[in-house]
Amino acid sequence: MTFPFLSVITFAPLVAGLGILLLPPERKDAARTTALVTAAFTVLLSGYLYFAYDQAAGGFQFVEDVAWIPQLGIRYHMGVDGFSLPMLLLTGIVLLTGVMISWGIEDRAREYMAFFLILSVGVFGVFAALDLFLFFFLLEIAVFPKFLMIVVWGYPKTREYGGMKLTLYLFLASLVALVGVLALYAALPAGARSFGLLDMAAANFSPELQRWAFPLIFGGFAIMGAIFPLHSWAPDGHVAAPTAISMMLAGVEMKIGMYAALRIGVYLLPEGAKFWAPVIVAFALVNVIYAAYIALIQKDFKYIIGFSSVSHMGLVMLGFATLNPLGLTGAGLQMFSHGVMTALFFSIVGMVYDRAHTRQLPELGGMMQRMPWAGIAFLVGGFTSMGMPGFSGFVAEIPIYMGLWQGVALDPLNLPGFMTTPWFFPLAAIISALSIVITAAYILLAVRRVFFGQLPAQFADLPDVSALDKTALVLLSGLMIVVGLYPAIMAPLVESGIQPVLQALGGG
């Protein structure tokens, strides 16, 4: 039995969170420091796993496997591979920076830090879970902390609406996926029924079952990734949430949906994936273009970012739908890149709002003069968002477009004619590439209207961001540049992680 790294990463925030709740309410700094130390600990540990993972050996490593509820074939089974490790690291980084930029919260600071840590338990765990029961168990632990943090500390005007909407949509998403997983569970031979991911992967479900279960599982998780037309919870919920929660929800929680869509949906149901891939492309295209266009016409700074994540998640879905190595690798990188980028954007929106007390673009301007660090970091995020070379967005998005260009409809049965024509995927690649232009437009508009131009008189003596804020900004923007300049630090790892999926698809 090796050291249970994954359990420690997952449950350290839980222990720390409960410990913080036992502190007296007035010891706010003790609560903050505990949260910071715990978050830093998870970053160090997941960073260690990231580099200690043996890429040559591949497969799942740091495995923990204990019987849990044997009557239903449920095991406490954890392990990580090249696809989940970047996500684990991302969660740690968002947690850490989230704690840093929440230092100034005064209203029930103890509860805030405790619930933020407890929220992260489910997030860490789902990326390591190799048992589907364990996956849903951890996923739904986060339901209530999420809801509570939005309605208690959120934006007062919309928090009750946004919090309820987000919570119910995410619960709906997990229920839809759960129904699909139960259908798979029941399809296993009696006596050998199990919730184990690997058991199910070895089961070779019949093509009919795969075709109708795939929309449930992939679709359910895609709702969590804000697929059109069930995407409206994401901007509403993320705008209503307090800054650190927006970072966690948009930065990581949406990735859980996409991660599970691939790890559970495509991996277990390759025939279903082949059948539905063109349909996913059609929906994801709407995400990419439509959400980018909506972001362009927003007047509210935070809504721009909210819709921009919906647009970028569409790119991840496009990458998955290609079902080829290029597209899948790109999608894996995009999940990390976008997670860091969105966390950065939301943290900057939060810093601006905390000081200016408005998020309306017409009322803002010239912030570069007052908070240059935030402005420069926003530019870095913006370049990443547009896919500029030298930033992580480029190394993620180019493979997606290339993969899409190469893509073909693998299972042309019964789909509308135009989806199976050879020009469908290339056309989709061209259309989706248009989003780069729209993204550049809304990012540059936001940069001009928030950070440049005339500084309104009432903001003349706004304070600069704090040292902790600066640290968080440097950490997040630094990561985007590192991955952008030196993609070899992540791309081979992700490639190794998607090998099982490619094998299931019959290629690789």
Partner 1 sequence: MNIQPFEPSHILALAPEIVLVISAAVIMLADVNRGRERKRELGVVAALGFGAALIAGLLFTLPALTADGQFGGMVRNDTAAFAFRILFLFAGLMTALIATDSPVIGKEGEFYLVLTGSVIGMNFMALSTDLVMLYLAIEASSIALYALAGSLRESDKSAESGLKYFLFGAFTSTVLLYGFSLLYGFTGSTNLFEIGAVIGQAGVGGVPTQPVILALLMVLIGLGFKVSAVPFHFWAPDVYEGAPTPITAFLSVASKAAGFAVLLRLLLTIFPGYGAIWTGIIAALALLTMTVGNLLAMQQRNIKRLLAYSSIAQAGYILLGLAAYYNLNTDGNVGGEHAIGAVVYYLGMYTLTNLVAFGVIVLVSRVTGSDEIADFSGLSRKSPGLALAMLVALLSLGGIPPLAGFFGKLYLFAAAAEANLLWLVIAGAVNALVALYYYLIVLKVIYLGQPKDEATFPVSRPYAFALWIGSLGVILVGVIAGPFVQIAQAAGTNFIR
**Of residues 191-220, those binding partner 1 (CB under 8 A):** 191, 193
Return the residue of 8, 40, 172, 482 that touches partner 1, per CB under 8 A: 172
Residue 190 engages partner 1 in binding (rule: CB under 8 A): yes
Closer to partner 1 at the Cβ: 76 or 452?
76
Cα 385 from chain centroid (whole Å):
15
For residues 245, 153, 135 and 497, what is the CA-based torsion angle, rounded to 10 degrees? 0
Residue 156 engages partner 1 in binding (rule: CB under 8 A): no
**Of residues 11-70, those binding partner 1 (CB under 8 A):** 67-70
Q: Cis omega before residue 229 (within 30°)?
A: yes
Integer Cα distance of 339 and 342 in angstroms: 5
Residue 131 carries which DSSP code? B
Integer Cα distance of 154 and 148 in angstroms: 9
Return the residue of 71, 229, 362, 422 that touches partner 1, per CB under 8 A: 71
Closer to partner 1 at the Cβ: 150 or 364?
150
Structure tokens at 398: 């180019």
Closer to partner 1 at the Cβ: 40 or 148?
148
Binding residues for partner 1, rule CB under 8 A, total: 36
Return the residue of 8, 30, 63, 168 that touches partner 1, per CB under 8 A: 168
Least gap, CB of 427 to partner 1 (angstroms): 35
Residue 167 engages partner 1 in binding (rule: CB under 8 A): yes
Residue 178 engages partner 1 in binding (rule: CB under 8 A): yes
Closer to partner 1 at the Cβ: 209 or 282?
209
Return the residue of 8, 151, 279, 489 that touches partner 1, per CB under 8 A: 151
Contact 359, 301 (CB under 8 A): yes
Contact 443, 299 (CB under 8 A): no
Cα 418 from chain centroid (whole Å):
32
Residue 130 engages partner 1 in binding (rule: CB under 8 A): no
The one segment of 77-85, 162-170, 235-243, 379-387 that binds partner 1 by CB under 8 A: 162-170
Return the residue of 103, 124, 147, 401 that touches partner 1, per CB under 8 A: 147
Residue 175 engages partner 1 in binding (rule: CB under 8 A): yes
How many Cα neighbours within 13 Å face the side chain of 219? 17
For residues 171, 177, 178 and 180, what is the CA-based torsion angle, rounded to 10 degrees? 150
Least gap, CB of 219 to partner 1 (angstroms): 13
Residue 268 engages partner 1 in binding (rule: CB under 8 A): no
Task: Report the length, in residues, of the chain.
Answer: 508
At a CB cut-off of 8 Å and minimum separation 6, what does 377 contact? 344, 348, 473, 474, 476, 477
User: What is the rounded radius of gyration, in angstroms, for the C-alpha atoms of the chain?
Assistant: 22
Cα 86 from chain centroid (whole Å):
11
Contact residues for partner 1, defined by CB under 8 A: 67-72, 133, 136-138, 140-141, 143-144, 147-148, 151-152, 160, 164, 167-168, 171-172, 175-176, 178-179, 182-183, 185-186, 189-191, 193
